A and B are shown apart, each in its own frame.
Chain A
Amino acid sequence: MQNGDDKTKLIYYTPDNVNGLLKTMNACKSYRLCFDDLNSVDIINKSALNTPLTKAIYPGYISDLSALKRSERYFEIGPELKINELLKKGATVLPPILLRALTECGNPNVRNILSIGGLICAPKIRNSVFAALSILNAKVEIASYTTASLRFMVPIQQLFKEEGLALLPGEMIIKIRIPYEEYDVDYYNEIQDKGTVITFVGTASTFKSSISICKFAIGNWGDEIIRETEIESGLIEQKLPIPEKIIEGWKEKFTDLFTEKYTFFSPYVQKALTNMFTEFLSRL
């Protein structure tokens, strides 16, 4: 770890390993983690973003945080792995919807800087990756300095609470774990509305001509991912091919969600999402 150097009241640290990072986070209480892709991501509280930067920690030189490992059951992606590198290394092994969601982020030059951890921690910037990871049952491994050996896994859906990112001070995402599962149908589509991108992602598997797994999510402009487990579980064990009448029934149920729960979508988005849902079902 390099010692911080003081200029214009900014103390700046570049730890070389995860333990060094945790020690540094423990030592300086009012730090801000800085990344390439975003000006800075503050994991202490959001209001601190408005205060001047005094202590910065840059974790970009930690090699453990930019690794891609594949085991028998899952992939492990380091949060600092750049998206273009991830697309190159994982082109043949990563789930197709994740690859598609990653290629939709920015342009190739920006993807040389963007990291997957940055996209997860700031989904307001881009929510497609977060939606794809949530239906792939991804988990994040969090390390904390408070108790030296504490490392725990959290489902990615639980990474956000109403007040924002659920990480506590001194906690850091060190791995993103995606279970290795193959799906028969992968669906990804997105639309733009008023400068925002709304994503519909879906995966399904079949067994003996009936649906065994069916998951879909809507990535919206915000922290939340819309998952409708009632519809998902209702579709399981549905015989294939699905008759048009039944598709119409599910379509109506899906449309009702917009009048009951998700009223913030514009009529244009509602119609587009319904069409995407119908297309997803018709592909089964």
Chain B
Amino acid sequence: MIIRFMLNNMKKNLDADPSDKLSDVLRDDFGLLSVNSGCNTGRCGGCTVLKDNIPVPACMVRMFSVRNANILTYEYISTTKEFETITKVLEAMGCNFCDFCKHGKMMTIYSLVINSGQLTDKDIYEALSGNICNCTDFQSMAAGIKLAVNAIKRGKRAERR
């Protein structure tokens, strides 16, 4: 059946089986290889995408629930200004993610930074608990995320002036 939805802010009409997994469709039909299917049970966080600006594991989302939704993947967010700021700050803090968790973690961090105000270590730990990988230590990641939130706020204020 034809499913209409937004993918990376572009309208798409896809003839797909409604019971297909979103992660499979994104990889096979659209060639978005940043969506890594790891555990297929939503535990590893490798396939995290933003569905209406909320991070969800794409392996647990069926195509029938995607109708009229806006799906954002790593390919899109990596072109935004906010992403650039986040990456710079995280690199400065010494956070280098491995290839397995990088895309999923960055999707979660991006949504956390964009959608949240003041963040505590607890908030960050809780949000990142859905991305299982120990390649980077938590303390530097948390510090980097807090700095990124402040940097983006400062940037927005400067733009307004």
> What residues make up the interface of A, taking CB atoms closer than 8 Å to B?
5-8, 10, 12, 14, 34, 36-37, 39, 53, 56, 58, 60-61, 84, 106-110, 112-113
B107: nearest chain-A partner, CB-CB: A109
B65–A58 CB distance below 8 A:
yes
Q: Least Cβ distance of B57 to chain A in Å?
A: 5
A7–B127 CB distance below 8 A:
no
A113–B60 CB distance below 8 A:
yes
Q: A58-B64, A107-B43, A110-B42 are in contact. Are A5 and B1 (CB under 8 A)?
A: yes
Pick out which of these stretches binds chain A: B11-19, B30-38, B91-99: B11-19
CB contact between B57 and one of A5, A60, A113 (< 8 Å): that residue: A113
Please name 5 pairs of A and B residues whose Cβ atoms are closer than 8 Å in the assembled complex, sorted by A.
A5-B2, A36-B62, A56-B64, A58-B18, A107-B45
CB contact between A34 and one of B62, B126, B131 (< 8 Å): that residue: B62
Instruction: Please classify the interface of chain A as helix (H, G, I), strand (E, B), loop, or mixed, using the class held by over half of its residues.
Output: loop
Q: Least Cβ distance of B113 to chain A in Å?
A: 15
CB contact between B61 and one of A12, A36, A108 (< 8 Å): that residue: A36
Q: A56-B19, A107-B130 are in contact. Are A112 and B56 (CB under 8 A)?
A: yes
Q: A12-B64, A14-B67, A113-B56 are in contact. List 16 more A-B contacts (CB 8 A).
A: A6-B1, A10-B1, A10-B19, A12-B1, A12-B18, A36-B65, A39-B62, A106-B130, A107-B129, A109-B42, A109-B45, A110-B57, A112-B51, A112-B56, A113-B42, A113-B57
Q: A12-B64, A113-B56, A113-B61 are in contact. Are A106 and B19 (CB under 8 A)?
A: no
B17–A107 CB distance below 8 A:
no
B23, CB-defined interface residue at 8 Å: no
Q: Least Cβ distance of A187 to chain B in Å?
A: 22
Most buried by A among B19, B45, B54, B57: B19
Q: Give the chain A neighbours of B61 by CB distance below 8 A.
A: 36, 113
Please measure, in the bound complex, the distance between the C-alpha atom of A110 and the C-alpha atom of B54, giving whole angstroms. 11
Q: Give the chain A neighbours of B15 by CB distance below 8 A.
A: 7
B55, CB-defined interface residue at 8 Å: yes
Q: Which 9 A-B pairs have the closest CB atoms?
A: A107-B130, A5-B1, A109-B130, A110-B42, A12-B18, A58-B64, A109-B55, A112-B56, A112-B54
CB contact between A7 and one of B17, B48, B57, B108 (< 8 Å): that residue: B17
Q: A5-B2, A10-B18, A56-B18 are in contact. Are A109 and B64 (CB under 8 A)?
A: no
A112–B19 CB distance below 8 A:
no
Q: Least Cβ distance of A210 to chain B in Å?
A: 38
Please measure, in the bound complex, the distance between the C-alpha atom of A53 and the C-alpha atom of B62, giving whole angstroms. 14
B48: nearest chain-A partner, CB-CB: A109
A40: nearest chain-B partner, CB-CB: B19
A4: nearest chain-B partner, CB-CB: B1
B51: nearest chain-A partner, CB-CB: A112
A107–B62 CB distance below 8 A:
no
Q: Give the chain A neighbours of B19 by CB distance below 8 A.
A: 10, 34, 53, 56
A109–B56 CB distance below 8 A:
yes
Q: Give the chain A neighbours of B1 by CB distance below 8 A.
A: 5-7, 10, 12
Q: Least Cβ distance of A126 to chain B in Å?
A: 13
Please measure, in the bound complex, the distance between the C-alpha atom of A194 and the C-alpha atom of B25, giving whole angstroms. 35
Q: B51-94 CB contact bits vs A (8 Å, 1 = yes)?
A: 10011110011101101000000000000000000000000000
A110–B65 CB distance below 8 A:
no
Please measure, in the bound complex, the distance between the C-alpha atom of A109 and the C-alpha atom of B51, giving whole angstroms. 11
Please measure, in the bound complex, the distance between the C-alpha atom of A108 and the C-alpha atom of B107, giving whole angstroms. 13
Q: Give the chain A neighbours of B56 by CB distance below 8 A.
A: 109, 112-113
Q: Least Cβ distance of A76 to chain B in Å?
A: 23
Q: Least Cβ distance of A42 to chain B in Å?
A: 14
Q: B100-139 CB contact bits vs A (8 Å, 1 = yes)?
A: 0000000010000000000000000011011100000000
